[in-house]
Amino acid sequence: MWSFFSVKRWLFFLLLALVLMMPLPAFALTPEQVYESVKDSVLVVKVYDQRGRLVGFGSGVMLPLGDIVTNYHVIKSGVRYSVGQAKEAKPATLKGMDKNKDLCLLSAPGIEAKPATLGQAAKLKVGQPVYAVGAPQGLELSLSEGIVSQLRGVVPPIIQTTVPISPGSSGGGLFNAEGELVGITTFQLKEGQNLNFALPVEWIGLVAKRKTEYFPVPIEQEQKFVTLYSASGPVHLGDEEFPDWPPLHGTCFGADFSYDGPIEILTLKLQTYGIEITAPIYLNNHKVAVLPPQRGAQTRKTRPNEWTRDISINIPTDKLINGLNKLVICTDLVGRPEFPGDKDDFQFRNFRIIVK
């Protein structure tokens, strides 16, 4: 028969065991502590066109596996990228993307950055403090403070927050009070006040899993040839005098494609509208071919009707990389002697990237 003191001692050890089994509570950090813990994880992403001109910028966050996450809309208008802090930057390549989720992954070998600690947007509660670190208006490593205003959609939710988001903030990190990455700051509704939104950190994992799955599905397969990319067009580059022919990407057009397996032949096929200038072609930032002039077809009277037959250009395969590849075709804007003050333009259609 147990004595009174034996029962008390047994209850004491039982309660002690239960306490030790409970998870330790997470302690909120001060804003200063949050900033110190995450500032080395947030990078500036710069975007350049084929001529090396800066055409955009945003923010990015270093992930535990070494990739940098940012918004797809940050990089979509460029063909070259760099990431870094202050005056130190490294060239970056596009490793994966999901246009629908507006997220992409960059790879920048040699970049020195601290991987962010990942949290969960699904565990956020309305009213909890959150912090954004990014480069609004190009002012890198800026800290903004706010709260979770609401959680929108299904789990994991899109995060509505009072944390200010400005151009340049896109792709930056939204962190909780423990310094964990819970979202990617993405957009704001300008019609209201403090209507800012971040994509849930859980979506990054979906992009990572689909690095080679979200690209265009082969749409034709004949005689062992497979079309990896197709744009019917017409696509028009360059001539501001014809507003009804909307230009794409300024003076360049880019096509992202991926192919797993050996490639014997990589061919670009397209029909052009009789350009009288050369058009350089780049594969993963390397000039690999030139589209020669197609003379005699371009006059103002016959512009809508004078399309060439299919032009085939073989592209060297030694510049291909595993995963995502980017092929870019450009045209230089040059003065036309027969039309003083005019600038030459370039139209094409039935653009296809074909491999065997």
95: its two tokens: 């490793």
User: Is position 249 annotated as part of the catalytic site?
Assistant: no
Identify the active-site residue in 170, 236, 256, 258.
Answer: 170
DSSP output for 110-146: T---PPPPB--GGG--TT-EEEEEE-GGG--SEEEEE
Return d(Cα 251, Cα 328) in angstroms, integer.
10
Nearest to 140 by CA among 252, 61, 204, 224: 61
Q: Which of 322, 69, 108 is nearest to 208 (CA)?
A: 69
Are the CB atoms for 41 and 115 separated by under 8 Å? yes
Whether 290 contacts 281, CB under 8 Å: yes
Which position among 73, 77, 332, 342 bears the catalytic label?
73
Q: Is 318 a catalytic residue?
A: no
Give the position of tokens 């988001």. 165
Q: Which of 199, 137, 131, 132 is nearest to 168 (CA)?
A: 137
Active-site option among 102, 239, 344, 345:
102
Burial 124-157 (b: 16+ CB within 10 A, else e): beeeebbbbbbbbeeebbbbbebebbebeeeebb
Say whether 57 sits in a helix, a strand or coil.
strand
Active centre residues (catalytic): 73, 102, 170
